[in-house]
Structure 1
Amino acid sequence: MSAVEIEAPVVGVTVYPDRARVTRRGSTRLAAGEHRVRIAPLPLGLRRDSLRVGGRGAVTVLGVEVTTWRQARSTDGQVRELERRKRELADELAEVDDADEVETQRGQFIGQLAERAGGTYARALASGKAAPTDVATFADSVAGQLADSQSRRRGLARRRTDLTEELAAVERQLKATDGKREPDRLAAEVTVAVDADDAELDLELTYLVDGARWQPSYDLRLVDDTMTVTWFGLVSQETGEDWPECVLQLSTARPAAATGVPELSPWYLDRVRPAPPMPAMAPASFGALPPPPSPGAAPAAAAGAAPRSAPPRPKVRESVATVEQGVTAATYRPARPVAVPADGSAYRATIAVLELPARLDHVTVPVRAAEAHLRATVRNTSAHTLLPGPAAVFHGADFVAATRLKTWAPGEETELALGVDDRVRVERKLGRRADTRATLGSTRRREVEYRISVANHTPQAATVEVRDQLPVSRDEAVVVRESTLVPPPAERTELGELTWRLRLGPGESGEIAMGFRVELAKGVELAGWRE
């Protein structure tokens, strides 16, 4: 049985969220008889049970064997040259530092010499032993030597800067080669035993590897009533083999901090129970939203802009991936072949650009915060199922929020918070409170009424969703009765949550009155009350 080694480069990669399927192809001519066809090197971490062999030719596959192959350490001449240059630069930097230290000491010596000589010349001039010209000559000499020393130090500083920058560049190049060299020390090899009939063999090898992934990310840009969703796929891998420019596919199949509107929690009332003590209710927390985009004027036209009569230039287009829809997953192929090195760096491919209709309104929860959040409700009218991933939200050209999309199916709506809109003013006040005792029996009552006012100071009509709540009793001795709900809420839940929707024109205001009373049986102390 003869041994044959063929080259089978990577021709295609399908990347899953947590792994990748790699396809290699190679060709060779086989004489009649049995042969052992060897393909190496392959990544050491390939899943051996995933290995599949196929192809074309009058050949019968007798067996497949995967073994570990110890590859010689890389002898890349470029790497050796970079390491040599790194050593040279380090030596030159040390020489520059030594020369700078010598010049520093020289300057200090000249300065001390001039200081001591100054006193000697002063006495010599007083006694007539030295002429003024002698002093001037000495001073000029000292000044010239100091100037030369400072000039040399400036030259050394420039030299140090140049050497440091070059050394940093060499270190970056060496670091870039590390990911390519290290996995080559230990690799896998595949040996395919075949029986050939004097034929041309086109061999195809596929296998799964860990250490590869793709993750979705999004840009969500709202302009008027349209949300443009740009869907990106970030591909990275540390499988031990570089992927050259080949057919790259991103599959949604799985072989294996955000912003939002504050949410209401149930408001319970109960009697005080001394034993055991009731745990204090923690108020529901909510994420702070970034401020809304400041309404500024449109930027001035740049000098030299085209005249008004010139036709507008088309927008820059993005190449998007083609899609193959399966039963439970989709596979996306970027518009052009790409190379992905095995150093963990991410390659970003544009999967799709979607124009989706958006509906804008405001949401406020004044019992938590007297502010209105601008909200976009967007329906996925595309055929794509968008996967969970981080998203950057833009309102026009302004970045307003960082959020995370959940799985977004076709036809499904999702809500996006666009920040606090200070042009919609909200106020919640306690209008009335009374504590009384019934004339018959010992029943006590506590009655309150709140007034919520909403003012629209935007230049267009606005729909404002107002959320509040009534308390819910947990004990039959504590009875909650609503007294005033004007206007009636559009929605309510069994947990006391109330929702109004106010339609306000520019400059208009609306008001909601909400009142209730709490009746307590004899001897019952109220727990859980809040204003």
Structure 2
Amino acid sequence: PSSVTVSGEGDVKVAGLDVREVPSTGWVPPSLAPLADEVEKAHAQVEVLSSRAASIAQGVKHLEAAVPEGLKEVELAAYVDAALKKREALELKASETKGLLEKAQKEYEALKAEYEGRFPGRPDRVVLVTFSTEGKGEVLLTARTDSARWRPLYRLELNSSTGEIRGVYGVEVNQKSGIDWDGEVVFHTVRPRGGVRIPDMPPLIADIHDPDKNKKAFELAMRAAAPALDGAAGEYLEEGLTDVAIRTSAAVNGSGEDVTIDAGTFTEESEVSLVCIPEYSPEAWTVATVKSLGRALLPGEARLSVDGKDTGRTRLEALSMGQEAVLPFGTTPLVTAEREEMIPTTGTSWIVKGKHQRGYIITVSNGLDKAVKVRVKDRVPVPANEAIKIQDVTLSPAPAERDEKGFLTWEIALDKGKSSQVSVKYTVTYPSDKELIFR
């Protein structure tokens, strides 16, 4: 209630604003009206069956208590026989009614629980806003709710022949305010918050390390210095100095159901490549590289497809306009790269203290019905200190790229149904009194 404000636009003046929490008095959120009707009907059915059960029970009691006097033996026998039949019929009705009543009560309780669970806030309380106005124009009512959330949700379709990526910029939204949204909706990446301030920088102090003494002080200092970050997971995408917003038109009910909205579409041109990383998987990855994005992308889930076929989902990281984007679109099982060791890695002849030899062949195969270019990625170790030496590195053929971190890349062209091989050999020497690890 404290967040509610009412303002007039144009010549309208607002006076007498009163905001209070009151009993609901039968108010039903518009989107819950059908469910409320079901709850009411279920409750009425329980009442009908309860009345029927009570009436049958009363009838049974009358049969037990009412025995006419002055009947002859034959008449009494006939009366008892008729009473027994009537009693049996009533008991049967009582049993049937009991079963129907139990079922109706369960259905009513389930519907009532669903209704109360989807009702915003407390089912028995609502916020009542009253005010008066003077003049003509529009009135704007604003209020804050903690019962609304949203996240970006993309759909990306790759044309493997042209490299064109068709994207749908979507939003998954859920709001439980009790008021249906129908019209323009703006989704912001930054939410208003109190206590906005520039963090204070404490003095930098050099001290002797004492684990027990310094650990807690360090953690407290870092928490105090670190600013809080707002997470959100934006034509329709508006970028400002402190916020990115998605503006669209949508209908979102106020009962807490997830709604997916297509806020806009976009296209990007990419270079499509097949990338193999045999150390992790024999299957090639279909990768689309956009050299310079035409728009900003917010972090969020993306549903992927290639040439009209679904290939999976991925998580996009935040990217700015003009930045390069590397997007994996799933694996290509018919293009593979498999490693086979040339130097045995078991047995006593392989274990030599102070020396580690490695050699393997990577076989790259194209099982597609067309020629492809495959980018094969691998690595050789790099020493972490001067005592370790990497020697006798033999790479055949020579990689197209090799960097100081030991990463290797080969560009291999393969006709349909063809294979090619890459061999890698190296030796690592290290002090024999030490243990070698790879990390």
**Which residue of structure 1 aligns with residue 179 of structure 2?**
242
Q: Is the 8 A contact 2:286 2:332 kept in 1?
A: no
Give the counterpart letter for 1:229 in structure 2.
G
Residue number among 140, 144, 166 corresponding to 1:205 in the alignment: 140
Q: Is the 8 A contact 2:295 2:322 kept in 1?
A: no
CA distance in 2, matches of 1:469, 1:395: 29
Query: Match of 1:86, SS?
Result: helix
CA distance in 2, matches of 1:233, 1:327: 19
**Which residue of structure 2 aligns with residue 402 of structure 1?**
313
After superposition, residues 224-263 of structure 1 pair within 5 angstroms as: 224=160, 225-239=163-177, 241-252=178-189, 254-256=191-193
1:336-395 CA distance string (max 9 Å, x none): x63x333212333211122333433222222333x1232221428775322211122123
CA distance in 1, matches of 2:308, 2:295: 25
Q: Is the 8 A contact 1:232 1:351 kept in 2?
A: yes
Gaps of at least 5 residues in structure 2 are 55-88, 194-233
> For the structure 1 residues 45 and 349, does the alpha-carbon distance in structure 2 shift closer, same or farther, using more than 3 Å as the test?
farther
Deviates more, 1:74-83 or 1:350-359: 74-83
Give the counterpart letter for 1:463 in structure 2.
K
1:295-318 CA distance string (max 9 Å, x none): xxxxxxxxxxxxxxxxxxxxxxxx
CA distance in 2, matches of 1:372, 1:178: 46
Q: Is the 8 A contact 1:323 1:332 kept in 2?
A: yes
1:32-82 CA distance string (max 9 Å, x none): xxxxxxxxxxxx262x6xx473422286x8xx8875424343235989976
**Which residue of structure 2 aligns with residue 323 of structure 1?**
236
**Which residue of structure 1 aligns with residue 436 of structure 2?**
527
2:43 is equivalent to residue 87 of structure 1: yes
Residue number among 15, 20, 23 corresponding to 1:69 in the alignment: 20
2:384 is equivalent to residue 449 of structure 1: no
Q: CA deviation at 1:484?
A: 0.7
2:11 is equivalent to residue 57 of structure 1: yes
**Which residue of structure 1 aligns with residue 66 of structure 2?**
none
Residue number among 358, 361, 369 corresponding to 2:273 in the alignment: 361
Identity %: 20
CA distance in 2, matches of 1:514, 1:97: 85
Deviates more, 1:180-189 or 1:391-400: 180-189
CA distance in 2, matches of 1:217, 1:388: 9
Q: Is the 8 A contact 1:221 1:394 kept in 2?
A: yes
Q: Is the 8 A contact 1:477 1:524 kept in 2?
A: no
Give the counterpart letter for 1:207 in structure 2.
T
2:303 is equivalent to residue 392 of structure 1: yes
> For the structure 1 residues 427 and 76, does the alpha-carbon distance in structure 2 shift closer, same or farther, using more than 3 Å as the test?
closer
**Which residue of structure 1 aligns with residue 256 of structure 2?**
344
1:442-473 CA distance string (max 9 Å, x none): 99655443221111111122222222222233
Q: Is the 8 A contact 1:433 1:446 kept in 2?
A: no
After superposition, residues 126-137 of structure 1 pair within 5 angstroms as: none
Higher relative contact order (CA 8 A, sep 6+): 1
Q: Is the 8 A contact 2:172 2:258 kept in 1?
A: yes
Residue number among 338, 342, 358 corresponding to 1:427 in the alignment: 338
Q: Is the 8 A contact 1:484 1:515 kept in 2?
A: yes
Q: Is the 8 A contact 2:286 2:331 kept in 1?
A: no
CA distance in 2, matches of 1:324, 1:444: 59
1:119-142 CA distance string (max 9 Å, x none): xxxxxxxxxxxxxxxxxxxxxxxx
Query: Match of 1:175, SS?
Result: helix
Query: Match of 1:424, SS?
Result: strand
Q: Could you tell me the TM-score, scaled by structure 1's length?
A: 0.53
Gaps of at least 5 residues in structure 1 are 1-43, 99-148, 257-320, 437-441
Q: Could you tell me the TM-score, scaled by structure 2's length?
A: 0.63
Q: Is the 8 A contact 1:233 1:349 kept in 2?
A: yes
Query: Match of 2:310, SS?
Result: strand
CA distance in 2, matches of 1:94, 1:223: 65
> For the structure 1 residues 376 and 167, does the alpha-carbon distance in structure 2 shift closer, same or farther, using more than 3 Å as the test?
same
Give the counterpart letter for 2:436 in structure 1.
A
> For the structure 1 residues 330 and 525, does the alpha-carbon distance in structure 2 shift closer, same or farther, using more than 3 Å as the test?
closer
After superposition, residues 498-517 of structure 1 pair within 5 angstroms as: 498-517=408-427
> For the structure 1 residues 71 and 92, does the alpha-carbon distance in structure 2 shift closer, same or farther, using more than 3 Å as the test?
closer
Give the counterpart letter for 1:200 in structure 2.
G
**Which residue of structure 1 aligns with residue 59 of structure 2?**
none
Q: Is the 8 A contact 2:11 2:136 kept in 1?
A: yes
